[in-house]
Amino acid sequence: MEFSVKSGSPEKQRSACIVVGVFEPRRLSSTAEQLDDISEGYISNLLRRGDLEGKSGQMLLLHNVPNILSERVLLVGCGKERDLDERQYRQIINKTINTLNETGSMEAVCFLSELHVKGRDTYWKIRQAVEATQDCLYSFNSLKTRKEEPRRPLRKIVFNVPTRRELPIGERAITHALAISIGVKSCKNVANMPPNICNPAYLSEQAKTLESDYDNISVEIVDEQQMEELGMGSYLAVGRGSENESLMSVIKYSGANDDSAPIVLLGKGLTFDSGGISLKPGAAMDEMKYDMGGAAGVLGAMHALAELQLPLNVIGVLAGCENMPDANAYRPGDILTTMSGQTVEVLNTDAEGRLVLCDALTYIERFDPESVIDVATLTGACVVALGSHATGLLSTHNPLAHELLNASEQSGDRAWRLPLWEDYQEQLESPFADFTNLGGKGAGTITAACFLSRFTKKYHWAHLDIAGTAWRSGANKGSTGRPVSMLTQFLLNRAGQEQGE
């Protein structure tokens, strides 16, 4: 898919399709008004006849509009002009791309980026449009024997900006969006892969692919023998019931001109989570292949980072593991000794992600990190609290939490902060070990983060619970690619390239 930006009058565009907006009720956008004048009222006459009201998401494709050089004009309903916000803008772009892709318009000049969206500038509108386009056109069909493809798929979009001085802004937006889209696609492809293919070794192979593709990336794989030597008893216990070896992939990106302390991104990589001895219900258990969504998200963010070549030192850690029931599987009642030396009483083997992450968080200390962000499909409680719209954010360091919240708002990949008060730590008390791996029914997302916080005393730390945002269920089941956009925005901000300046 090819994207570009230019500044020009709509009547001079020679393309397969021109895309313009119409507001409710039947009110032409400024660009649509220009086309209407050139066509001697052709468009406004259609609207008066009731062909299009302008409601958000309505589409009307016109052929051979008088005096217009382009073959088609696509009128896009944008709702009421004063109500056009970022959510509605993204929905309009999605509907537009799907329509173009189905109507044989292989290229288009899009004037929707000139619409006024509350509080958003040209950079944001073009970047969101590119990301939304790539998301719309994504499909995971590599394992299908019969692939359905559009006969004349959309291949090129030109976004129009009001003035020539905004061309560099639009070009930066496209550059950033394409890098993020590459990361999102990488995340989706790995997450959507079935668990008989995507196991911890497969995650390691994806990490090594990055190493071979980019000169400033190196990868180290920590296997079970090394984990044993390091005392990672908690991590090892979770994978004990699986035929697939637990492997932790450490991806080092060296982009800074000095040896400054790295930012570490840690992803939970449970390539399948059966629940272990505390077996999950059978319904929708197939979706537990997505329990490695955190690792997929970190892999995607590292891919986007490498594309952008940001001047940072960043380490991505993929904590690969599989949780299966077996004669050798760990049990409720077991007491595990973590790499930190702290002991954990296992109350439920389905609270396994924190047992893998806690040892990875201790391992990360050796890098003397500037900050650490872990990403995990950790708790069903987060889905109950926030649904599928927002990622749960918890942190022991307010500045880091605020940076992530800001990045989430900028990127549209939303997060919501939950408290991490000391009061909740009491729920993890154990009569037999230092603490348990389960905090009871109440505040499950918070007590899971409380557990992790006990292993993060030596650095600034934040936790992203993506249990509700990493994938969609139902007819459109599949990975969302989140939170690649948020993490990449965080790294762009850290690099001082919030909008590519």
Residue 306's Cα: distance from chain center in Å?
16
Rounded distance between C-alpha atoms, residue 348 and residue 200, angstroms:
22
**Nearest Cα residue to 255 out of 315, 184, 180:** 315
Q: Which residue has the tokens 């292949």?
A: 289
How far apart are the C-alpha atoms of 278 and 355, rounded to whole Å? 15
Residues facing residue 340 across a β-bridge? none
- Rounded Cα gap, residues 187 and 193, in angstroms: 10
Task: Point out the catalytic residue in the list 354, 454, 482, 494.
Answer: 354
Long-range CB pairs of 425-430 (<8 Å, 24+ gap) are 425/450, 430/344, 430/345
Which residue is catalytic, options 27, 156, 280, 472? 280
> Tokens 């960043």, residue?
314
**Radius of gyration (C-alpha) of the chain in whole angstroms:** 25
Distances (CA, A) of 17 to 26, 157, 276, 298, 495: 21, 10, 54, 38, 38
Confirm if 401 and 393 have CB atoms less than 8 A apart.
Answer: yes
Where does residue 326 fall: left (phi above 0), alpha (psi -120 to 50 degrees), or beta otherwise? beta
DSSP, residue by residue, 218-229: EEEEE-HHHHHH
Residue with tokens 């408290």: 419
Instruction: Check residue 400 and report its DSSP letter.
Output: H
What's the residue count for the chain?
501
237 φ, ψ (degrees, to nearest 5): -60, -40
**Is 280 considered catalytic here?**
yes
Tokens of 44: 């406004």
> Would you please indicate which residues are annotated as catalytic (active-site) residues?
280, 354
